[in-house]
Chains A and B, each alone.
Chain A
């Protein structure tokens, strides 16, 4: 085996228990997000809970299941930083869609 692969194989030797724990956590977090809807929480409480559970789940999957926690820093930054910039795009489109809604209300007069 080439040294590169030998090294990679060494790095990714984690106990099975770690994966089972993460699996369990993902189950619990998903149940919580489902309960947010089932119980019928509304407003900022609903949104903060949904986003917290979402980010925790995504973080666990990327860090442990996809082994990102054990990758080289250069790869981590190359992969994780660009999606963060999508948030700028989200901000622009939020502003754009509120403007579209405003013009529609002005010209069509229907309330949402």
Chain B
């Protein structure tokens, strides 16, 4: 019996899920990760590479801290702020954490409204996310200025192990750079959403390709990753 010929696009949809799907994907003669668009797969692979970079930074910091014979400064005291005459430990870092988590919340909602093709809500939520991101970078600039004023340098600090300064500026600096790039990325995509580029299939000026709402989710992946890295920096750098 000859089965009716199916267009290949429909075949894509009928791929098995679960373990059978995993085997089918990795044994694929066409492309791996069926039903996952290239844009999304490539962002995930980029984030995987970024995971390794941040992983190496945190491991370098761990070995520097474990191998030093000079006492490591106590982050709880170093990052304390005086509020109303009382030293509150890590308060700025806690607020920065809440700001970043909130930006992740608004981003997740933006992705949701993007798939509902609600232009205004998507763009507004992305702008709010960018605003939270910019706030975070602003607070980080304040934190850096305060520490630099107190004499922290990449080669030393007033409280102990010299490696504290170098790892602090390297790790938080690299994370702050990611946040800044994310804010720019968010603003660019929010503008496209607002203008209706993905409804009118307007071609991008750089790639001259038609975009679609999935880019909101891909931007979201990058943004949530920035929050994700902060979870680890918060635990290993500030709470250790």
Instruction: Report which A residues bind B (CB closer than 8 A).
Output: 1-5, 7-9, 12-14, 16, 19-20, 22-23, 26-27, 30, 33-34, 36-38, 50-51, 53-54, 57-58, 61-62, 64-67, 71-75, 77-79, 82-83, 86, 89-90, 93-94, 96-98, 100-101, 104-105, 108, 110-112
The stretch of B131-139, B168-176, B222-230 in contact with A is: B222-230
Q: In the complex, which of the residues A14, A30, A86 contacts B55, with contact meaning CB atoms closer than 8 Å?
A: A86
Q: Which residue of B lies closest to A7 (CB)?
A: B35
Are A97 and B10 interface neighbours, CB within 8 A?
Answer: no
Known A-B contacts A30-B101, A77-B22, A98-B66; A51 and B235 likewise in contact (beta carbons under 8 Å): yes
Q: In the complex, which of the residues B19, B44, B97, B112 contacts A73, with contact meaning CB atoms closer than 8 Å?
A: B19
In the assembled complex, the Cα of A90 lies from the Cα of B60 at a distance in Å of 9
Interface magnitude class on chain B? 35 or more
In the assembled complex, the Cα of A84 lies from the Cα of B106 at a distance in Å of 29
Q: How far is the CB of A63 from chain B (nearest CB, A)?
A: 11
In the assembled complex, the Cα of A44 lies from the Cα of B36 at a distance in Å of 42
Q: In the complex, which of the residues A57, A62, A101 contacts B66, with contact meaning CB atoms closer than 8 Å?
A: A101
Are B90 and A74 interface neighbours, CB within 8 A?
Answer: no
Interface of B is mostly: helix
Are A82 and B98 interface neighbours, CB within 8 A?
Answer: no
Collect the chain B residues with CB atoms within 8 Å of residue A112's CB.
68-71
Instruction: Report which B residues bind A (CB closer than 8 A).
Output: 9-10, 12-13, 17-19, 21-22, 25-26, 32-37, 40-41, 44-45, 47-48, 51-52, 55, 59, 62-64, 66-71, 76, 89-90, 94, 97-98, 101-102, 104-105, 107-109, 111-112, 115-116, 212-214, 217, 220-221, 224-225, 227-228, 231-232, 234-235, 238-240
- When A and B form their complex, what is the total count of cross-chain residue pairs whose Cβ atoms lie within 8 Å? 185
Are A66 and B105 interface neighbours, CB within 8 A?
Answer: no
In the assembled complex, the Cα of A62 lies from the Cα of B108 at a distance in Å of 11
Q: How far is the CB of A43 from chain B (nearest CB, A)?
A: 13
Q: List 20 additional A-B contacts (Cβ < 8 Å) besides A5-B37, A82-B52.
A: A7-B13, A8-B35, A9-B115, A12-B217, A19-B105, A23-B105, A23-B108, A26-B104, A30-B97, A58-B232, A61-B228, A62-B228, A74-B22, A78-B32, A79-B45, A89-B55, A94-B62, A97-B66, A101-B69, A110-B69
Are A61 and B22 interface neighbours, CB within 8 A?
Answer: no
In the assembled complex, the Cα of A23 lies from the Cα of B101 at a distance in Å of 7
17 sample A-B contacts, Cβ–Cβ < 8 Å, listed by A number: A3-B13, A4-B37, A12-B111, A13-B115, A19-B105, A19-B109, A65-B104, A73-B19, A75-B25, A78-B44, A79-B47, A86-B55, A94-B62, A96-B63, A97-B66, A97-B67, A112-B68
In the assembled complex, the Cα of A72 lies from the Cα of B224 at a distance in Å of 19
In the assembled complex, the Cα of A53 lies from the Cα of B37 at a distance in Å of 33
Most buried by B among A16, A19, A94: A19
Known A-B contacts A38-B89, A90-B62; A9 and B213 likewise in contact (beta carbons under 8 Å): yes
Collect the chain A residues with CB atoms within 8 Å of residue B89's CB.
37-38
In the assembled complex, the Cα of A4 lies from the Cα of B40 at a distance in Å of 12
In the assembled complex, the Cα of A34 lies from the Cα of B90 at a distance in Å of 8
Are B231 and A19 interface neighbours, CB within 8 A?
Answer: no
Are A54 and B32 interface neighbours, CB within 8 A?
Answer: no
